[in-house]
Homo-oligomer: A and B are copies of this chain.
């Protein structure tokens, strides 16, 4: 029989990803809320302490935890620096707290407590060992134990606040228990959790579809992109492009001699993953682009695609890094029956895997040195999980400011695993969730399950690979409502432009999600001043995001029922309740829809019967609503969406109308 006087149980800790196997993600400056079930048998009281430290520190810092309800406790610590923190929890049966608690009940009902006071004196005595304020404690103890003193003054002493403070400072921690695991937390910078992405092919930067664009041309476009409110400019691969088996326009197998090829077929005689495609410019040009983008409060994100064209220097220098077919040829990429003969995947499990992994890591390091701090990683799910775990964690040790976005469109558990391993943001299924039920279910999963601790969604209505049927068929209203959904449901979102703002919706063929004349295989002409451009609408939406902190988080999402399945309604608000946004979107890009919203008043701290202002930040109009049930109507051809800011009344009807 084990000797076991330990009675306290600590379990069900939040935030913990696989119970601390992986780090939970927070942002710099965040109060990290830690919760746990802490309880013991019987009716004795517990004191619990949150122990936390920056990873690598020896000493724990302690923070008090308080009991919320139902044996659930909470404490918090501040994420003051980038990098990893870690925490655990310690708890013990608190004899002094238990004693005063019971004493109070007895005193309140007039029970004689003279013997109980002696028990209290003993508890105080037990606490003296570690105390420096021995004399003060001694005095309390002797008062409680002194039966010659009036009972009333002894009772008063028992409840003395200074005594309580001393006993809290020097607790009698009989058999304290510490949670058996140390839970890591990763602190990222704010942009990991709140970012507006704009994807652009720099080779189209001349905008005429004829002349190859360069970084210099890109610099000219920065004011346009930043002007719409984007703060991450993401470039598809900028490296030399393979010649062998190069793809032509519309993915044809017979390229014209001027066809530039897919930038994802990386490497030729001019270099590989650490080189720049000569027509884009020099490394110095690239650094200038980075600097200029900073002036516009933007960052450059690079696309890292770990694969090679047959002409990549690696193929000659390290043939051992690629898989051979039984006939001795190098295995090209395939997803049967599809073949990608212009691309050789790496063999991550080859005998020389250590050198391969190191070299691939050094590609990130090279670009970090040039000033790139954000990477969009191509198809990470086709590379080993452990490779990412190693590479990302190793890089973050030196560069905790770096942000990795996982471009994995695959099964949910694989996407989750990549996020757990360290990717700071992840692509999602958002593009294909085009019904109210589908979106609500998906967002509930993202924001209400443990996914919220490790998976930061980045919502893209389109990408160079994804022109959904919804966008193909729905015209401008479809683009508008998808934009509003992406930008207000998710705190990270992005568009592939100028295809998006110019409402490019022609697919290569019916039933395909590929763009006609896709920029993946050719230059494109873009008229940024086209009349139907959504640039002003996008600018407005991004301004609303910037000005309303409620839209900069995910966990605060609440759905509100509407009795029309084409209208979705949801709100977000800041913790202090000061910023409260209500969004309504009509999914039907063709017809006006109307319905009654049933606002979940308790979730947004509005009293039944109370009236409040709803101000449409998109349309600059406002209404006074009362209570839960209100009428809404959305015409897709004028305003497929409302983004309301709700202002609760702060004065009564005797004052003038004034809303906070």
Chain A residues at the B interface, C-beta cutoff of 8 Å: 1-7, 9, 11, 18-19, 37, 39-43, 70-71, 102, 105-106, 108-109, 111, 115, 118-119, 122, 325-327, 334-337, 339, 349, 353-354, 357-358, 381-386, 390, 411-414, 417
Is there an interface contact between B354 and A1, defined as CB atoms closer than 8 Å?
yes
Whether A9 and B41, one on each chain, are in contact in the complex, defined by CB atoms closer than 8 angstroms, is no
Cα distance, A305 to B649, chains bound together (Å): 59
A105 partner, pick from B108, B336, B353, B358, beta carbons under 8 A: B336
B381 and A327 contacting across the interface, CB-CB below 8 Å:
no
Contact B337 A382 (CB under 8 A): no
Looking at the complex, which one of B109, B349, B417 makes contact with A39 (CB distance below 8 Å)?
Answer: B417
Distance of A70 Cα from B7 Cα, bound (Å): 40
A414 vs B385: C-alpha distance when bound (angstroms): 39
**Cβ–Cβ contact A413 & B7, under 8 A:** no
Contact A384 B41 (CB under 8 A): yes
Residue numbers in B under 8 Å from A43 (CB-CB): 335, 382
Q: Are A39 and B413 in contact (CB under 8 A)?
A: yes
Distance in Å: Cβ of A646 to nearest Cβ of chain B = 29
Q: How far is the CA of A1 from the CA of B327 in the complex (A)?
A: 33
Closest residue on chain B to residue A121 by CB atoms: B326
Given A6-B386, A9-B417, A43-B382, verify A411-B71 contact (CB < 8 Å). yes
Most B CB contacts (10 A, CB to CB) among A111, A349, A353, A386 go to: A386
A200 to chain B, nearest CB (A): 30
> Once bound together, how far apart are the Cα atoms of A602 and B383, in whole Å?
40
Selected contact of A7 from candidates B1, B385, B390, CB within 8 Å: B385
Q: Nearest B residue to A12 by beta-carbon distance?
A: B413
Residue of B nearest to A120 (CB): B326
Q: By the criterion CB–CB under 8 Å, are A1 and B390 in contact?
A: yes
| A339 CB to nearest chain B CB (Å) | 8
| Residue ID in chain B nearest A118 by CB atoms | B326
How far is B393's CA from A2's CA once the two chains are assembled, in angstroms?
A: 13
Shortest distance in angstroms between A38's beta carbon and chain B's nearest beta carbon?
9
Contact B414–A325 (Cβ < 8 Å):
no
B37 lies within 8 A of A413 (CB): yes
Pair B119/A326 contact, Cβ less than 8 Å: yes
Q: A122-B326, A384-B41 are in contact. Are A349 and B413 (CB under 8 A)?
A: no
- In the complex, what residues of B have CB within 8 A of residue A354's CB? 1, 3
In the complex the two chains form, what is the Cα distance from A414 to B46 in whole Å?
Answer: 14
Q: Which residues of B contact A414 (CB under 8 A)?
A: 39, 41, 71
> Are B41 and A381 in contact (CB-based, < 8 A)?
yes
Question: A412 vs B69: C-alpha distance in the bound complex, in angstroms?
Answer: 11
**Set B37, B111, B337, B382: member contacting A42, Cβ < 8 A:** B382
A390 CB contacts on chain B under 8 angstroms: 1-2, 4
Assembled-state Cα–Cα distance A6/B248 (Å): 38
Is B381 a contact partner of A111 (Cβ separation < 8 A)?
no
